[in-house]
Structure formats: structure tokens, C-alpha cells
Amino acid sequence: MGARNDELLARYQRSVMGVFGLPPLVLSHGSGCHVWDVDGNRYLDLVGGIAVNALGHGHPALVSAISKQAAEAIHISNLFTSEGQIALAERLVELAGAPQGSAVFFANSGAEAIEAAIKLSRRTGRSGIVAAEGAFHGRTTGALALTHKPAYREPFEPLIAGVSHVPFGDEAALRAAVTAETAAVVLEPLQGEAGVLSPGTAYLRLARELTRQHGALLVLDEIQTGIGRTGTWFAFQQAGILPDAITVAKGLGGGVPIGALVAFGPEVAGLLTAGQHGSTFGGNPLAAAAGLAVLETIEEQGLLAHAAKAGQHLANSVLALGHPLVTEVRGAGLLRAIVLAKPVAAAVAALARDVGFIVNPVAPQAIRLAPPLVISTEELDSFVTALPALLDAARNSEDPA
């Protein structure tokens, strides 16, 4: 926020396609859980690149890993493989608790991982996919068919056929929707884009039961919830089930683009065979080195337990404010939504930015927080301390009387 920021945003508006709208800030660099704009203003990053910057900004382990790899080989094509790619696949299978014979397909993003999951499901010989209302699985055309929000979908219809959406968490609707024609049920363990909504453990277990009963795949979208975000490596592990496949991305590369489809067991992993899918950049040496560094650092620094503890501290602290505008704090680990009594989330986010906090107004009445997993409770407390004044100002701006 300053002269340099305004100048660059004017150039942005003239030269960058406006699919993201006009950003409020031009960021120049970051360190730990803070970022700076081009005018030198500092912000506590409570969004983390939308759950991407798992280790924050400039983490020495990640910087060292990708610097070393960049000097050796950034890309080699998937005509070949690398030791890092193999090690990362093995590590993902291990951390997911997937059975022997499981395998990984590497892509560049979460949306591409979903595309791979759609093709995997088609190889069952069926084409029906059950997804959930409120779901967000990406914006490529296949992933968009599974995404629910009409504003994202309608300009590009018709999308792929055979996708039905059921109310999230409605067990009766899920029972009715899954049939012998269903190739896959695709669900997020927590719907981030919808405001960090949980369907409950029983619902996920029912999805497992129904898909097994009808011979369909259960695909869980762990793109946002995976890689320790909710306090376990993957959110499904808190439900005590094993899916047939998961999609991951975001936190895996700590900022280096990478996505992956993990297929559980040889039967599922074997559905896609040579030549049926591919990716030019997926799992290249640089991305694999980043992924391995992120996973190793999360384990070494005990960030799973920290995410669970810090996230609960954040939720308790916000609720303890007793502010009349806060009705609920949803989510798990360090994926949280502060739910508001009035649709002033955008105003709160703008006010927060003015005093040095970056938060995400994911819905009119919900503020999403997905900070780096390395964030300290002191840093979280600094936001909680500032929050009442932000809420008061947002409420007053809506209703000056």
C-alpha cells in the first residue's frame, strides 16, 4: 500500500488477464510467517498462499533443497525418472498408510491431480461421479465439473456428463446417489472454499461403506487438507478409513508447483496404464526435491502436533474474546474459519490488511485462516489481540447508525 504498489497494479491491470480481479498488494518477499509489499509494509501471512506455504517463506531447509537441486537438474522430462521422484512417491505412499502395491502419479497442481482421478475413475468402466454441494476441486474443465459453485461452472457448460452433487454431510442423499453406475465418490474431508465445512467423521465412513458396497472408488481431495494442515498428514486419517485414492498438492511443494494422485493398492493403481495419462513437468527433480524437503521438515520439527495444538489455541482464543460478531470457529489444525454473524468478512479482511494481517474472506460470513505450519502461538495471538477492533470497525462500517 503505497506509491510503488499503485504504480505496479496499474501496469498489472493493463497487462495481466483479469481472471483474479485486481489484487490489493504487490508483494516483494517474505521471511518466516511475514511478507512485505513493494513499499516496505510488513504483514503477518495468515493465508500462506492458500495453504501452500507450509514452511512459511524462505525456510532454510526448502531454500537449500531447491537451490542444490537447481544446480544439479531442474527438469529431465518423464522419458526418464530421478532418485528424488522415486523417493517422494515412496514417502507419500508411506505417510498415507497406503497398502503395498499403491502408486503415485505426479502432476503440477491440485486441479491436474483431480483430472487424473477422473480418468482413473473412468477406467472402472463407469462414468458416474458423485460430488458434494459446496465442493471446490479446481477450475480445469474436468475438475470444474466436480466443483459446485454455479458462478464458476455456468460460463463453461456443458461440462463432462455424469456428475451429480449431493448436499454435503447429508447421509440419506449420499445413500440415494451412490449406485451400481457410480464410478467414484469424490469428497473433501473439509470444504475449504465453502468456508471450512466438515461433513463429520460418520459421513466419511458412510462414503467408504457405500463405495465399497457398490464397487465404486472413494477419492478424497486432500489438496488443501493434506501435508499436515489439519494436524495429521492427511485429514482422512482422523476418520479411521482408507480411501481408494487421494489427491494432494498445495503444501506438498511449499510453494514449488506440484500435485499428486495417490492410488491405494495394486488394483486401483493399475487402472491407469502406460500411455493413458501423463505430464510434462509433473514430479520433475526440482518439484520432487521441494516435496521431500517439506515432508522431512514437517517430521523433524514436529509440525503435525504443532498444527493441531496451535490451531486449537487459535480457535479457543478467538472464541474467548466473546465478540458478538463471532458465532463459531470451524475447522481443524491450522485450517480454520472464523464465522461471523453478518456478511462483513471482506470488510474485516481489508481492515486487517491495513494494520498488517493477511486473511482470506472465503465467504461473506467466513474468514479463512491457513497460516504456515511454522507459525508461533505468539504470532497467532497478535492477530487475536487485533481482532476485536477489526470486527467493531467492520460492523460499524456496515451499520453506521
Task: Looking at 196-327, list the stretches that DSSP marks H as alpha helix, in order from N- to C-terminal side.
Answer: 201-214, 266-269, 285-300, 303-320
Per-residue pLDDT of the chain (401 residues; tens, 9 = 90+): 799 999 999 999 999 999 999 999 999 999 999 999 999 999 999 999 999 999 999 999 999 999 999 999 999 999 999 999 999 999 999 999 999 999 999 999 999 999 999 999 999 999 999 999 999 999 999 999 999 999 999 999 999 999 999 999 999 999 999 999 999 999 999 999 999 999 999 999 999 999 999 999 999 999 999 999 999 999 999 999 999 999 999 999 999 999 999 999 999 999 999 999 999 999 999 999 999 999 999 999 999 999 999 999 999 999 999 999 999 999 999 999 999 999 999 999 999 999 999 999 999 999 999 999 999 999 999 999 999 999 999 988 876 54
Counted domains in the chain: 2
Q: Which residues are catalytic?
A: 136, 221, 250
Does residue 66 sit within a domain? no
Does residue 192 sit within a domain? yes
Residue 83 neighbours by CB under 8 Å, 6+ apart: none
Does residue 67 sit within a domain? no
Do 188 and 237 fall into the same domain?
yes
pLDDT of residue 396: 87
Do 213 and 339 fall into the same domain?
no
CA dist 125 → 29, 118, 163, 207, 217 (Å): 48, 12, 15, 20, 12
Q: Can you say which residues are annotated as belonging to the binding site for pyridoxal 5'-phosphate?
A: 110-111, 136, 221-224, 280
Sheet order of strands, 182-187 included: 103-107, 259-263, 245-248, 217-221, 182-187, 128-132, 163-166
Do 49 and 102 fall into the same domain?
no
Domain, as residue range, for 354: 3-58+302-397
Does residue 353 sit within a domain? yes
Burial of 194 (0-12, 13-18, 19+ CB in 10 A): buried
Q: Which of 301, 333, 359 is the last residue of a domain?
A: 301
Look up residue 99 and give its DSSP letter: P
CATH of residue 174's domain is 3.40.640.10
- N- to C-terminal Cα separation, the chain: 30
Q: Can you say which residues are annotated as belonging to the binding site for N(2)-acetyl-L-ornithine?
A: 139, 279
Write out 149-186 in H/E/C secondary structure: CHHHHHHHCCCCCCEEEECCCCHHHHHHHCCCCEEEEE
CA–CA separation, 353 and 72 (whole Å): 40
Do 160 and 284 fall into the same domain?
yes
Minimal CA–CA distance to 368: which of 107, 7, 50?
50
Do 85 and 174 fall into the same domain?
yes
Whether residue 221 contacts residue 247, with contact meaning beta carbons closer than 8 Å, is answered with: yes
Does residue 33 sit within a domain? yes
Sign, CA dihedral 21-24-28-30, equals negative
Q: Can you say which residues are annotated as belonging to the binding site?
A: 110-111, 136, 139, 221-224, 279-280
> What are the backbone dihedrals phi and psi of residue 12, each rounded to the nearest 5 degrees, phi first?
-55, -45
Does residue 263 sit within a domain? yes
Do 367 and 293 fall into the same domain?
no
* Residues linked to residue 363 through DSSP beta bridges, in sequence order: 366
> What are the backbone dihedrals phi and psi of residue 84, each rounded to the nearest 5 degrees, phi first?
-65, -40
Q: Which residues of 153-162 are buried (b: 16+ CB within 10 A; e: fewer)?
A: beeeeebeeb
Whether residue 107 contacts residue 278, with contact meaning beta carbons closer than 8 Å, is answered with: no
pLDDT of residue 399: 65
pLDDT of residue 201: 97
Do 47 and 158 fall into the same domain?
no
Q: Which of 231, 266, 301 is the last residue of a domain?
A: 301
Do 167 and 223 fall into the same domain?
yes
Do 251 and 113 fall into the same domain?
yes
Whether residue 201 contacts residue 193, with contact meaning beta carbons closer than 8 Å, is answered with: no
Whether residue 292 contacts residue 65, with contact meaning beta carbons closer than 8 Å, is answered with: yes
Q: Which of 283, 301, 319 is the last residue of a domain?
A: 301
CATH of residue 19's domain is 3.90.1150.10
Does residue 65 sit within a domain? no
Does residue 135 sit within a domain? yes
Q: Which residues of 231-252 are buried (b: 16+ CB within 10 A; e: fewer)?
A: bbbbbbbbbebbbbbbbbbbbb
Do 28 and 50 fall into the same domain?
yes
Do 329 and 268 fall into the same domain?
no
Over its C-alpha atoms, the chain yields an Rg (Å, rounded) of 21
Do 361 and 274 fall into the same domain?
no
CA–CA separation, 102 and 83 (whole Å): 18
